[in-house]
Each structure stands twice: as structure tokens, then as C-alpha cells.
Chain A
Amino acid sequence: MSEGISRIKRQYPPEEEDASRLKFNEEFKNGTVSEFSCLSLSEVAIMLEQTKLGNPENHGAIVDKMIDYCKTYRTFKDKETVQEIRRTLNKYELHEYEVSQLINLIPGSVEEALSYIPSLRSKFSNEKINEIIEDVNELKKYQG
């Protein structure tokens, strides 16, 4: 008798996910900043505005809720500023998730940043984190 055929059981989620330690499941694992597959709220708001102009009636409840949410909580209004901030944050070796969180939450101090994004603690010194935060806040002030 051949050995039994066992089903491959896939659990949801397959491994312990934890954004604070930058552990994402299989589907979202990619470490390099250049891939840009992780988006911030402001970028999603801009993209939704562009694509959704075509067929507003076909939106379900979920898409509408998301559009409202993005419009309420976006931190940067225009495309150029967002591109600028991406370019600025590219200088540092940040994980995509960290970049997006910085753009979304705009921490005002080093403690705030470490509270939102604990993975920064092991990567950078406090001075470096302060530099990053100042860059983000600079651009936020600039766009008004």
C-alpha cells in the first residue's frame, strides 16, 4: 500500500505576522525599497482619484469607504510632494513598510517614530532617526 496522500493544509496566516518586526507573510515579502509595492495613504488617494474617475457608479460599498478614508487621512495632497518625499527617504536604508508608515503618520519626535515603527530602533541611531523625521516634517510644512 502506498503511503497516504496528505492534503497540504494552508493556515491563515501561515506564519506569525508582525509589522513591528517587519515580518510579513509570503504574499508581501519583498525587502527592497525600489520595488515600491507598498503604498502610503496619500499615494493610494492619488491613484484612486485617477482610476476611479472612469466608472464611479460601479463602486461597491467597500471601494467607496476606502475612497472616503483615503481622502480624510491623506497626509500629502499632491503628486509632486509625494514623489519628492519618496526620493528623500530613498537615501536611507528603509524597508518599504517603514517608508509608507512615515508618510502616513508623520511622527513629530524620535519617541513617536519609535512607538509607531519599532523596527527603526535596531536599524538607526537616534540622530539618524531625527534626521529622517525632520526631512518628512520639512516636506509636510512645505506643502502647507
Chain B
Amino acid sequence: MFFIKKLHHTIQLHPAFFTQNFETYLTEKLYKDVEGTCTGRFGYVIAVLDTNETLEISQGKVIPSVGLAEFEVAYRAIVFKPFKGEVVDGVVSQVNKMGFFADVGPLQIFVSSHLIPQDLKFDPAKNPPCYANNSEDSYAVIEKGTHVRIKIVGTRFDATDIFAIGTIKDDFCGVVTGS
């Protein structure tokens, strides 16, 4: 789920950049440092919403004996964090006999074969390998590129990464038909 969060970041500025537009440099540095990172606490930081003018930069403090100036920056960003119990749409990226992996943006969700309905069986002979319904109307096939709706049943957070597992056994979850 996406949220807008107010976050803080400390940036150190080399004296070479103590010019009129040091704020521009700080903004660029902030974008580079923070966008695309992931923490267990806030999830993936997708985009910083503040620009040069709206960014809250504290008064810089020069670090003794080093000469760098340290700034505390407060900014708003779009973050993405998965929660247990959340239903999300994703694209299947890998299929094997243990289950399949689906990508929800940068997050990978693993759906174990135990949490896939019984009538979908793993077919290793097919190319590409997939989970298919063995009856005549095999409209529900799970292979790389299939769109699926997954309910997240568990998440685990590292310092810099998120892992999630999900199920498609629930009602209204599974392969998404149509555009």
C-alpha cells in the first residue's frame, strides 16, 4: 500500500559546494540517496515529493576538523509497504514446483504450491512451465507473464529488504481475466 510519509535524512556537504545554490545540490543529493531505497520500517521509498523550494533544510552545522557541513533534511515521499492481509495485483515472473513468484513493482511475492488451489497442477513438461487446470477448459493457466491477484499472508522485513508470501486460494484471488 502506498503512503505519503514525512521522513528525515542527514546530508553532508563538501565546502566546495558552499555557494549560492547549495540547496539545489542538497536536493539532488537527497534524490540520489533516498529514492529507490528500501527499509524495513517504511518500505520502498519511491519518489520524493518536495522540490528545491519546498524542501525543509535545517541550519547547516560544520563538523569540526572535517570541514563538511551537515544538514538535516525533512521531506515528504511516496513509500510502498506491503501489509499482511492486503490484496494486490501482480505479474508472475517465475514458476517452479514449489510455487511461483509474482512481481508487485519492486517487491517479489512468493506463492507456495500449498496456497494454490488444488485443481491447478504444476506441469513441468510444458514450455514454459506453468500451473494449469487439467480439465478441458484450461482457461486458468499460471505462467510467466500472467496477471494474478494475491492476498499477502506474511511479510518479513530485513534492514534493507522486504520479503512477502501470499495466497491465491482465497475467493476472488487468482488469475485476472480481461484487460
Contacts and interface: CB of A to CB of B under 8 A. Distances in A.
A105 to B, nearest CB: 6
Contact of B35 (A44, A63, A65, A70): A63
Contacts of A17: 83-84, 155
B38 A100 contact: no
B40 A12 contact: yes
A38 interface: yes
Contacts of A41: 2
B84 to A, nearest CB: 5
B84 A37 contact: no
B86 interface: yes
Interface in A91-114: 97, 100-101, 104-105, 107, 111-112
Contact of A65 (B3, B5, B37, B105): B105
Contact of A61 (B3, B104, B106): B106
B119 interface: no
Size category, A interface: 35 or more
B149 to A, nearest CB: 8
Contacts of B83: 17-19, 24
Interface in B13-42: 31-32, 35-38, 40-42
Contacts, number: 116
Given A18-B84, A65-B106, A59 B40 contact: no
Interface in A8-40: 12-13, 17-21, 24, 27-28, 36-40
Interface of B: 1-5, 31-32, 35-38, 40-42, 44, 46-47, 49, 78, 80-81, 83-87, 89, 91, 103-106, 149, 152, 155, 157-159, 170-173
Given A21-B85, A58-B35, 5 more contacts: A12-B158, A27-B42, A44-B2, A59-B35, A100-B1
26 contacts: A12-B41, A12-B158, A17-B155, A20-B86, A28-B81, A39-B3, A40-B2, A44-B2, A47-B78, A48-B78, A52-B47, A58-B32, A60-B36, A61-B36, A62-B44, A62-B105, A63-B35, A63-B47, A65-B105, A66-B80, A66-B105, A69-B104, A70-B105, A72-B91, A115-B87, A115-B170
